[in-house]
Amino acid sequence: MTLIFVNIFQKRTKMGPNKKAAKHRLSHETEREFGGTLGAVCIPIFLPLTVLFLICVSQSPEANVFQLPPRLPTTDQLWDPLAPMLLLGWIGLHALLYMMPLGKVSEGLVLRNGTRLKYPINGFHSLCISAVLLMLLLAFGAPLGYLFELLVPLAVSAIAVSFLFSIYLYVRSFWAPSHALALGGDTGNPLYDFFIGRELNPRVGNFDLKYFCELRPGLIGWVVINLGMLMKEVELRGSPSLSMILVNCFQLLYVADALWNEEAVLTTMDIVHDGFGFMLVFGDLAWVPFTYSLQASFLVVHPQTLSLLKAAVIVALNGVGYYIFRRSNSQKNQFRRDPTHPSVSGLETIATATGKRLLVSGWWGLVRHPNYLGDLLMALAWSLPCGFSHVLPYFYVIYFTILLIHREARDDRQCRAKYGLAWDTYCRRVPYRIFPYLY
């Protein structure tokens, strides 16, 4: 799951000419992302505050995101010594699971120096082992519902770890050879480079720090937080509500799917293109687990009654979204891996000057990003169990719509640069970007 969580802030700004730029600093790429230096200064201040603000709002009786002055935690809410211990223990556990000789080993794409890195594909094993450990903890009476009280201190700890880890990554990148730096992450501006990430694939021995953070501690942490919210509901009301069960199941399915298809992350923008800096570290370790779990924390304080009929409609919506999301992603992955495979060989395609072909029928003939359409339908299904009384549970679907519209525009630019006229032909054949007949 590529967590380009702050794409919404991404703007392309012109960078001033740097006459002394070393050759490897791609001075020909005269663009900085995320609002350049200003973005690199503001985002690391603004987004951590947003995380704390949203958690506080979700736990408050009013749950009003528009309340002025905005609701922020008091200083005594920020700290609990248990939080950093739990967080570091969790990260340590997943580091151990990562190193266990389980699952297969896959190679990433070819790097600039012609080599390919090896990655363990055992994220799904980590999820299963985490689930067994959690069940054991629950069987021994561990108060998992206490995660509700710990949310703010845990988020503060995750933010602090993100800053410290990003500083480490920035400093160590000066010992990396130039071919190991991300294009666009070595501008010479320390604030921007710290934010965007200098080194492409920082490793300690064989342990790949970026790949580890992408899908494991934060993503699995998200569903553990959800489970904690469910247990809090059980403490408060004796049993989990239907809404809480739906939110937990939907999001667990999404996370399990990402880990089951872990190999696909090796070709994403995050792994292939982006350096590992504050942007990705914070997104993986703080933004995803603490903002994607807002519906569950909201439901603890704002119980909803959901009829079976409404629940069935929501389940159907999530099912349709998941079906479109999975089938379209798998179709493209299969086509890119082996265009002669029987499941894709009958599809209509157009040739491009690069030798690669583009699908113009099947899912990719419906809209230009059917996978985003499916993802957005699921995002809506995760919010609907929370009713219509508050905006907060819809934060994810609103944020995600903006993110994916922006991401689509970014991908469109990149594909036009890659495929030129063939891309224009594809756009004429498939005029809608994400929503059929709408956009």
Binding site for ligand NDP (CB under 6 A): 1-4, 268-269, 325, 329, 332, 335-336, 356, 358-359, 364, 369, 371-372, 375, 407, 411, 414-415, 426
Own/partner contacts of 61-70, CB < 8 Å, gap of 24 or more, are 61/301, 63/298, 63/301, 63/302, 63/390, 63/392, 64/390, 64/392, 65/391, 65/392, 65/395, 66/391
Instruction: Find the shortest distance in angstroms from Cβ 366 to ligand NDP.
Output: 10
Q: Measured from the CB atom, is 232 or 369 closer to ligand NDP?
A: 369
Which contiguous run of DSSP H or E holds residue 375? helix 370-383
Q: Measured from the CB atom, is 269 or 313 closer to ligand NDP?
A: 269
Q: Measured from the CB atom, is 86 or 265 closer to ligand NDP?
A: 265
Q: Measured from the CB atom, is 237 or 336 closer to ligand NDP?
A: 336
Q: Measured from the CB atom, is 83 or 430 closer to ligand NDP?
A: 430
Is the preceding peptide bond at 84 cis, omega within 30 degrees of 0? Answer: no
Instruction: Find the shortest distance in angstroms from Cβ 325 to ligand NDP.
Output: 6
First to last CA, the chain: 24
Instruction: Find the shortest distance in angstroms from Cβ 17 to ligand NDP.
Output: 29
CA distance 186 to 193: 6
Q: Measured from the CB atom, is 173 or 329 closer to ligand NDP?
A: 329
Which bin fits 411, alpha (ψ -120 to 50), beta or left (φ > 0)?
alpha
Instruction: Find the shortest distance in angstroms from Cβ 305 to ligand NDP.
Output: 29
Instruction: Find the shortest distance in angstroms from Cβ 221 to ligand NDP.
Output: 14
CA distance 199 to 175: 10
In terms of C-beta density within 10 A (0-12 exposed, 13-18 middle, 19 or more buried), how is residue 264 classed? middle
Given a contact cutoff of 8 angstroms between Cβ atoms, the answer to whether 397 and 332 are in contact is no
Tokens 């996978």 -> residue: 371
Instruction: Find the shortest distance in angstroms from Cβ 222 to ligand NDP.
Output: 10
